[in-house]
Structure 1
Amino acid sequence: MTGVVRLATRGSELALWQTKWVVSLLPVPTEIVTVETEGDRDQERSLTEIGGQGVFVKEIQRHVLDRRATIAVHSAKDLPSTSVDGLVVGAWLPRANPFDAIVGCTLSELAPRARVGTSSLRRSAQLRALRPDVDIVSLRGNIRTRLTKGKGLDAIFVAAAALERLEIQPPVVEILDARVMMPQVGQGVVAVECRADDREMIQLLSALSDRETELSVLAERSFLRTFGTGCSLPIGAFAEMQDGTIMLSAMVAAPDGTRVLRGSLRGEDPEQLGGLLASDLVERGALALLSASEGKG
């Protein structure tokens, strides 16, 4: 490959960590291009209010499509469930811790009417199902910003992968199993996109991709795609390889936590598996729960 590979990324500490990881894996000269996204510019409104899907990736993808960058580095959880024309994910890097963490207090020790910070409808709906008495406080920003703001609250939610990758060790932290707090689709995974017609880059990235991570994330994204939603609605899914097959678990919730639908299914084809599990939850009333969450964030 001739020339410098330009990697487009958000400018946050975690995004740059992820991009430098990709740089360390590429056997070619590189240059990092930081891009401010819509989600970065607006830190006050909820993700639903500022556009939901793609608010952290659209501008980065445009840099690649316009050839201002060669590849784009994303947190896979930020990618909409449908691909952008002209782009393809060339590599799904090995997954870090996929689960959520509660910081400041363990879940069992949350005081009555505790104030808990999160901007995620997925997290707040599941927490309300467990503890309807808690007060959810909207909390956005990068990981260190949220940790600082969270000092005035009883607890906050963050992704465990962010803590581990940035080597942040809060005094009190509890990792929550998917049976308690279903993660966001793609959580803990770094996705690397390139142009669909860049065969040389596709070949280069394929050597970096982790097959088990790819199968797991494709199953999760297939589940999500049925509903046509992203991070702005109370949906979660987590897949992992078990004995050579994919075990997919997922949930759809009412935003107030009064009802949570959960299901799991095992299979070999990730696209088919996600669709089948989504159909099962739809038959059990998932669409009605999601329609109740429209306009809420």
Structure 2
Amino acid sequence: MSKVIRIGTRDSELALWQAKTVQRALEHTGHQTELVPVKSTGDLNLDQPLYEMGITGIFTKTLDVAMIKGEVDIAVHSMKDVPTALPKGIVEGAVMKRANTLDILVHKGTDFLETEGMIATGSLRRKAQWLHRYPKHRVTDLRGNVNTRLQKLQDNDWNGAIFAAAGLERIEVLPENHINLNWMLPAPAQGAMLIVAMENDDYCRKALAALNHEASQVCVHIERQFLRTLEGGCTAPIGALAEIVDGNVHFRGALFSLDGKQKFETEKILPLGAHAEIGKNAAIELLENGGKELMQELRKILNT
């Protein structure tokens, strides 16, 4: 049996780039496809910070509903936007090879770094880490797709704005005036693309299995395991990065207070193959060493 695989995607330039990448990969393996763009709740409301909306997976819910209703067969997501628990009936089909995991600062000159400044970001994780490193700075909210956020930076008197490097690189809008934030831990699964399918759709699941990149899958699963054990959702100020180096899994994770003043961090190295619980154990260790109280405070704030 063969069928046209309907690919659900958000309609931003970056989301369409991701969906077209999946489309090309599927067509390369002999499958017929069709793109079905939809607009998510998170894209429609740009006036409110994400954490204030109180919705986990705000960028993925619309596509989840479209899949469950049978309007699309698969959906392509930036994996960092996907809740650690997928909706009933929806399963992971493939993790594409991961891109750049770094956050970057697009700036108008870097002299302000040693004094006072205003940085824009819609991410509590980025805000907390920036304030931890630059406590004299202020951080303002920034929403919208990549192009919208770059334009807002130009239109306002901010010193800079923080972006995921992968997004700007993918649609080729990375400005020269940027610096890599090597010290900033990325969001769990940052730089990775996830394709989901319906659990009962054997045809699509088999088609997607051929696209899976195992090393990327291993790393993002570790990071999401860390996030899930902390019960942090997609908005809490949690950073995590797993990398495979010379047959070993190197993992770093951290939890921050919203103002950046508190930081709990953990680091682990285990041989590949002995890594199954590394994210979970790192999170438990972090919680036992003071992170539990901070997570309780964060849940009260973010769930009100």
TM-score (norm 1): 0.95
Equivalent position amino acid for 2:23 in 1: V
CA distance in 2: counterparts of 1:54 and 1:169, whole angstroms:
26
Q: Is contact 2:132-2:261 (8 Å) kept?
A: yes
**Matching of residue 41 in structure 1 with residue 44 in structure 2:** yes
- Give how far 1:290 is off: 2.5
**Matching of residue 295 in structure 1 with residue 301 in structure 2:** yes
- 1:143-178 Cα offsets, whole Å, 9 max, x none, are 11111111221000000001110111313111111x
Q: Which of 55, 58, 76 matches 1:55? A: 58
**Matching of residue 17 in structure 1 with residue 17 in structure 2:** yes
Matches within 5 A, 1:37-116: 37-105=40-108, 110=113, 112-116=115-119
Counterpart in the other structure of 1:8: 8
CA distance in 2: counterparts of 1:158 and 1:22, whole angstroms:
23
Counterpart in the other structure of 1:199: 202
Matches within 5 A, 1:241-256: 241-256=244-259
Equivalent position amino acid for 2:126 in 1: R
CA distance in 1: counterparts of 2:245 and 2:283, whole angstroms:
20
After superposition, the Cα gap between the structure-2 partners of 1:59 and 1:216, relative to the gap in structure 1 and judged at 3 Å, is same
**Matching of residue 221 in structure 1 with residue 227 in structure 2:** no
Equivalent position amino acid for 1:104 in 2: H
After superposition, the Cα gap between the structure-2 partners of 1:75 and 1:289, relative to the gap in structure 1 and judged at 3 Å, is same
Counterpart in the other structure of 1:124: 127
- Give how far 1:288 is off: 1.7
Q: Is contact 1:53-1:229 (8 Å) kept?
A: no
After superposition, the Cα gap between the structure-2 partners of 1:108 and 1:252, relative to the gap in structure 1 and judged at 3 Å, is farther
SS in structure 1 opposite 2:254? strand
Equivalent position amino acid for 1:12 in 2: S
After superposition, the Cα gap between the structure-2 partners of 1:243 and 1:98, relative to the gap in structure 1 and judged at 3 Å, is same
- Give how far 1:66 is off: 1.6
Q: Is contact 1:52-1:231 (8 Å) kept?
A: no
**Percent identity among equivalent residues?**
35
Q: Is contact 1:80-1:229 (8 Å) kept?
A: no
For structure 2, which runs of at least 5 residues remain unmatched after alignment?
A: none
- Give how far 1:107 is off: 6.4
After superposition, the Cα gap between the structure-2 partners of 1:84 and 1:47, relative to the gap in structure 1 and judged at 3 Å, is same
More moved, 27-36 vs 215-224: 27-36
Counterpart in the other structure of 2:179: 174
More moved, 243-252 vs 188-197: 243-252
CA distance in 1: counterparts of 2:97 and 2:274, whole angstroms:
19
Q: How many aligned residue pairs are there?
A: 295
More moved, 229-238 vs 74-83: 229-238
- 1:220-278 Cα offsets, whole Å, 9 max, x none, are 01000012222211101011112223221111011111111111112335541111000
After superposing on structure 2, the runs of 4+ consecutive aligned residues of structure 1 that deviate more than 4 Å are 105-109
**Matching of residue 279 in structure 1 with residue 284 in structure 2:** yes
Q: Is contact 2:54-2:302 (8 Å) kept?
A: no
SS in structure 2 opposite 1:186? coil
Q: Is contact 2:119-2:139 (8 Å) kept?
A: yes
RMSD: 1.7
CA distance in 2: counterparts of 1:3 and 1:108, whole angstroms:
57
SS in structure 2 opposite 1:285? helix
**Matching of residue 155 in structure 1 with residue 160 in structure 2:** yes
Q: Is contact 1:23-1:30 (8 Å) kept?
A: yes
**Matching of residue 135 in structure 1 with residue 141 in structure 2:** no
Equivalent position amino acid for 1:38 in 2: T
CA distance in 2: counterparts of 1:229 and 1:11, whole angstroms:
27
Equivalent position amino acid for 2:136 in 1: D
After superposition, the Cα gap between the structure-2 partners of 1:11 and 1:284, relative to the gap in structure 1 and judged at 3 Å, is same
After superposition, the Cα gap between the structure-2 partners of 1:220 and 1:114, relative to the gap in structure 1 and judged at 3 Å, is same
